[in-house]
Amino acid sequence: MRLLKRDRDHGGLSCIVLGGTGAGKTTFMLSAVALPLLETREILFWRDSEFCQWTFLPLNRVKLLLSPFYEYEWIDKDTGETVNVDDYVRNSYCYTLEDFYEKAEPNVLNVVYTDYAGWFNFISSVLLMRRDVRWVSLFMDEVEKFVPANVEGNRWRMNLEFANALAEFRKNFISFYCAAQDYGDVDYRVTNKLNFKVYLRNARVPKAHSMVYPQVPRHLNMGEAVIEGMGEFTKHTFTKLQHQLNLLVRIKPLLAGNGLAESYAADAAMEELENEAGEASVNAGAS
């Protein structure tokens, strides 16, 4: 499959999976992309939400990377009871951003639970600064929540910073797989940088950015995808996965004002970026 090809000369690849709710976006990323990559030595990072999408994989193929600045309450969706996640899946607390990389392993999906600032800093100061040349894949489901279109002020700048980081992925051997309901829901500075688009059933084709006829996704069945990129498009099928656990997680910040624990509040995260930039220029001025 084209999204699994690895070529040192070309570097990492990037794609966005498109389709409405229930079209199979999460399943496509896990079943067609993550599962085959689990058989390689590549390091896979998955950004999860309270929905615990990792429960779609065999539990021995998952490792949770947790932040000590949060309290995680795992809840069985059927009974409403609290679950001890240690009984089901391996997990590690990561005390520094470097820990997220050091504690990640090949052959498992490394599920990262951190906030925007945590992700952004992990990408920019760890993944893009690595000394090794291992292949890394980053999965961001519901990416429209991470870098939404049509935002202003700090959020606008944060999206730009992320788009700039994304431009560095290819030569750092990082592949990026994300999913959204609609192309237009994601900041254009991010979508502009992606090499591939995957259309699932009834996905809207962004006409100005695609050579696929808009009616094509309407003729797809569940489990069929059209992959467009590098001047061609191909059809691919993917299979359904079974939930291994029926879980959700409630995540509460334990400490306010800590770098990693800075809630999902965008402004707080941006303030941090600005302080860092300020410090960097002060340091540069002093030397």
For Mg ion, the binding residues (CB under 5 A) are: 25-26
Task: Give the distance, in angstroms, between the CA of residue 137 and the centroid of all CA atoms in the same chain.
Answer: 9
Q: Is 125 in the site for ligand ADP (CB under 6 A)?
A: no
Q: Among residues 235 and 252, whose Cβ is nearest to ligand ADP? A: 235
Are 13 and 195 a contacting pair, CB within 8 Å? yes
Report residue 251 as tokens: 């995540």
Q: Which neighbouring-strand residues pair with 93?
A: 66
Which of the stretches 95-103, 127-135, 227-235, 237-245 binds ligand ADP when contact is defined by CB under 6 A?
237-245
Using Cβ positions, the residue closest to ligand ADP within the complex turns out to be 223
Report residue 43 as tokens: 């390091």
**Which one of residues 12, 19, 118, 217 is an interface residue with ligand ADP (CB under 6 A)?**
19
Residues 6 or more apart from 83 whose CB is under 8 A from it?
74, 75, 76, 245, 247
Q: Among residues 32 and 97, whose Cβ is nearest to ligand ADP? A: 32
Instruction: Please report the sign of the dihedral spanned by the C-alpha atoms of residue 251, residue 178, residue 220, residue 212.
Output: positive
DSSP symbol at 125: I
12 binds, among Mg ion, ligand ADP, none (CB under 5 to 8 A by kind): none
Which of the stretches 99-107, 127-135, 165-173, 232-240 binds ligand ADP when contact is defined by CB under 6 A?
232-240
Task: Quote the least distance from Cβ 68 to ligand ADP, whole Å.
Answer: 30
Cα–Cα distance, 154 to 145 (Å, whole number):
15
Which of the stretches 18-26, 119-127, 167-175, 189-197 binds ligand ADP when contact is defined by CB under 6 A?
18-26
Q: Which of 166, 186, 162, 163 is nearest to 174 (CA)?
A: 166
Which of the stretches 25-33, 70-78, 162-170, 270-278 binds ligand ADP when contact is defined by CB under 6 A?
25-33
Q: Which of 265, 248, 263 is nearest to 48 (CA)?
A: 248
3-state class of 148 per DSSP?
A: strand
**Which one of residues 24, 144, 195, 261 is an interface residue with ligand ADP (CB under 6 A)?**
24
Task: Quote the least distance from Cβ 81 to ligand ADP, whole Å.
Answer: 23
Q: Is 222 in the site for ligand ADP (CB under 6 A)?
A: yes
DSSP symbol at 246: -
Task: Quote the least distance from Cβ 252 to ligand ADP, whole Å.
Answer: 26
Which residues are at the interface with ligand ADP (CB under 6 A)?
19, 21-27, 222-223, 238-240
